[in-house]
Amino acid sequence: MTDKTSTSSLAPGLIAAAITFLVYLPALWGGFVNWDDPRYVYENGLIHSIDLAFIKTIFTTIQVSNWHPLTMFSYAIDYALWGLNPFGYHLENNILHAVNTFLAGLLAARLVEARGRSGSFAFIAALTTALLFGLHPMHVESVAWVSERKDVLSGLFFILSLLAYLRYHKNRSLTAYALTFVLFILALMSKPMVVTLPAVLLIIDAYPLKRFSKEGYGKIILEKIPFFAASLFIAVITVVAQEGSGALRSLDTDPMGLRVLTAFRGFIFYLVKLVFPSGLAPYYPHPLEQSITNYQYWGSIAVFIAITIGAVYAFKKKKAAFPAVWAFFIVTLLPVIGIIQVGRQAAADRYIYIPAIALFVLAGAGLALLVEKKKTALYPVIAALAAVSVVFSFLTIKQAGIWKDSVTLWSHEIEVYPMTVPMAYNSRGQAFHAAGELEKAVEDYSASITLNPFDPFPYNNRALVFEALGRTGLAIEDYTKAISLDTAFFNAYNNRGIALGQTGRFSEAVEDFTAALRINPASSSAYLNRGFALMSMEKLQEALNDFTRADSLSPGSPVVRYNLGLAYLKLGDTQKAQGFFREAASGGVEEARQYLQ
């Protein structure tokens, strides 16, 4: 392999990266959506400052059910640069994906070069891989959704780690080996799904490097021990984090037999969507009939077995490219294929971001081999690649458009899966509520309840809208239903207490706020609300105690200071009341000014 060959292999990735960035330009003007973006960004006060406390927090605590400090750090950088302007967050995602597109092309070139192929062969393989990776519409979710920063960030370090490993194989430099490991750690700090990288390195050792036949197993396995140790450590942390957050599904909810069926279906589902990317959606529900008699399950098992038999046959015939690609695809999907079920979805486009790389490399190498064997195929191959790129670009631009706001996102989900996904109606209802379209919000919450009458959240959300519409009685009924479904639902107790207070039922309101505080003793709002109810019942000292507690939990809150002023005024301590009213007025509570002398 010459230096000239190595340098020329950069061009295909650069071409594809530029095209990819241009195709994703419309996504820059998208907004945030109400699916995870609040927790990651626009309601996350943690990212508002980069200091030692922030660094300690992101490295020592679980954020949004995962340990991914590098991802959280990237959001903090965005906030420092852009505040809460979504443009900047989308721009970083776009840049990262364009860089990954370049690196995917470079990786393809390096892999085929490892098998002694260079020149036009490497160029075609790299260009095909990069274009498919950059423009495939299944990658839109990872790029256009701000919360999936972890995909493009972990993908960056994952591919860089593979490239560093190929460099290590070439020169056996300890620096390259150490760099491979460091980049792997950075990938793990971006998204735990990349725990499979050590297994991928072994696959690459088998093909295209063919190290096992040359060097034996001992040294190669020994090299990977630090990698597997890091993977095991992060895997344990992730499972504990997911279980602690309630995201990990139990075997009672999803039996192991169903999980195995889901896994087989998932492998083939992703293959089909990669070849025919139609009907893409942010959330894929499980089939209604969840048993082996459903063709989606037994059919997937049959196809999976057939492909695996083909891979084994190819391996025996010493044609190891396809078996290596199939192994890469299976291994990298294993953490999210459904055996360990996180969330309720059957599949997700974001999960294919890394696993698809091997399939794209195979496609690129296949086209390059076709041209090598038949020179007249060059122009048809170029025409076909251009046509696929145009089609994928169109589909990608269209798919990116569904992420522009929450209403558009969930309307698309409902269009693809009408009256199937309760969460979609609940989430669109929240978007309508935020936009002030209250009647539409009620319709969507009602649809969500119809589809899943055992979910307490749409009842609570619909109750909030009923209150805004002045239908307090209906609101109280919905809060009560939500509490009956989840007796530890803090918001439902707190919200029902507010509604009861609005109807003058203060003693019942106090009971609800007290129940809310048993669930969350650190809630300043529940103390504030209970204090207001107690003050309305003329239990002034008890009210003062609650306002004082609320003030200790939310120091300097103007609303709390205003209510402290009211309590002291009713207790006859005018001097203290005046002090609190002045603080409240300076904090923007205009009602406090009428009490100032």
> Looking at 193-197, 386-390, 463-467, 577-581, which range is the least confident one?
577-581
Contact 72, 36 (CB under 8 A): no
> Which residues lie closer than 8 Å to 375 by C-beta, 6 or more apart?
none
* Selection from 64, 122, 96, 22 nearest residue 365 by Cα: 122
CB atoms within 10 A of CB 484: 12
Cis ω before 208 (30° cut-off from 0): yes
pTM comes to 0.92
Q: In which band, very low, low, confident or very high, does the pLDDT at 291 lie, cut at 50, 70 and 90?
A: confident
Sign of the torsion angle spanned by Cα atoms 61, 65, 68, 71: negative
How is residue 9 annotated by DSSP? T
Distance (Å, whole) CA 398 – CA 380: 27
- Mean pLDDT (whole number) for 401-409: 97
Percent with pLDDT over 70 in the chain? 96
For the chain, percent of residues with pLDDT exceeding 90: 82
Q: Cβ contacts of residue 521 below 8 Å, gap of 6+? A: none
State the DSSP code for 347: B
pLDDT at 313: 94
| pLDDT averaged over every residue in the chain | 93
Instruction: Provide mean pLDDT across the span 93-102.
Output: 98
**Letter for the amino acid at 491?**
N
pLDDT digits (tens, 9 = 90+) for 351-369: 999 999 999 999 999 999 9
Q: Residue 2 pLDDT > 60, yes or no?
A: no
In angstroms, the Cα distances linking 533 to 235, 308, 497, 506, 546 are 48, 67, 9, 5, 10
pLDDT at 6 over 70: no
Mean pLDDT, residues 550-562: 91
Average pLDDT in the 549-562 region? 91
SS (H, E, C) 198-251: HHHHHHHHHCCCCHHHHHCCHHHHHHHHHHHHHHHHHHHHHHHHHHHHCCECCC
Q: pLDDT tens-digit profile of 301-316?
A: 999 999 999 999 999 8
| pLDDT single digits (tens) 567-589 | 999 999 988 999 999 998 888 88
Residues 437 and 65: beta-carbon distance below 8 Å = no
Closest CA to 198 of 234, 144, 248, 249: 234
Q: What per-residue confidence (pLDDT) applies to 251?
A: 64
Q: How far apart are CA 446 and CA 159, in angstroms?
A: 46
pLDDT-based confidence at residue 247 (cuts at 50, 70, 90): low
Residue 118 has pLDDT above 80, yes or no: yes
Rounded to 5°, angle at Cα 112 from 383 and 315: 105
pLDDT digits (tens, 9 = 90+) for 457-497: 999 999 999 999 999 999 999 999 999 999 999 999 999 99
CA dist list (Å): 137 to 50, 129, 279? 35, 14, 11
DSSP assignment string, 264-333: HHHHHHHHHHHHS--S--S-BPPPSS-STTSHHHHHHHHHHHHHHHHHHHHHHTT--HHHHHHHHHHHHH
Residue 346 DSSP code: S
Spatial distance between the Cα atoms of 454 and 582, rounded to a whole number of angstroms: 47
Distance separating alpha carbons of residues 541 and 520, to the nearest angstrom: 22
What domains can you pick out in the chain, each with its CATH number? 10-245+264-401 (no CATH), 527-597 (1.25.40.10)
pLDDT of residue 205: 96
1 pLDDT more than 60 = no
Query: Contact 345/36 with Cβ under 8 angstroms?
Result: no
With a CB cutoff of 8 Å and minimum separation 6, the contacts of 317 are none
The residue ranking higher by pLDDT, 320 or 247, is 320
Confidence tier at 243 by pLDDT (50, 70, 90): confident
Taking a C-beta distance cutoff of 8 angstroms, is the pair 465, 435 a contact? no
- Lowest-confidence segment of 60-69, 340-349, 537-546 by average pLDDT: 340-349
What is the tens place of the pLDDT at every residue in 376-385? 899 999 999 9
For CA atoms 226, 228, 231, 236, the dihedral sign is negative
Q: Are 193 and 335 in contact (CB under 8 A)?
A: yes
**Res 3 pLDDT > 80:** no
| Cα gap 502→559, rounded to integer Å | 18
Cβ proximity of 128 and 170 under 8 Å: no
- State the Cα–Cα distance between residues 549 and 532, nearest whole angstrom: 13
Mention every residue, 6+ apart, whose C-beta is less than 8 A from residue 29. Answer: 87, 90, 404
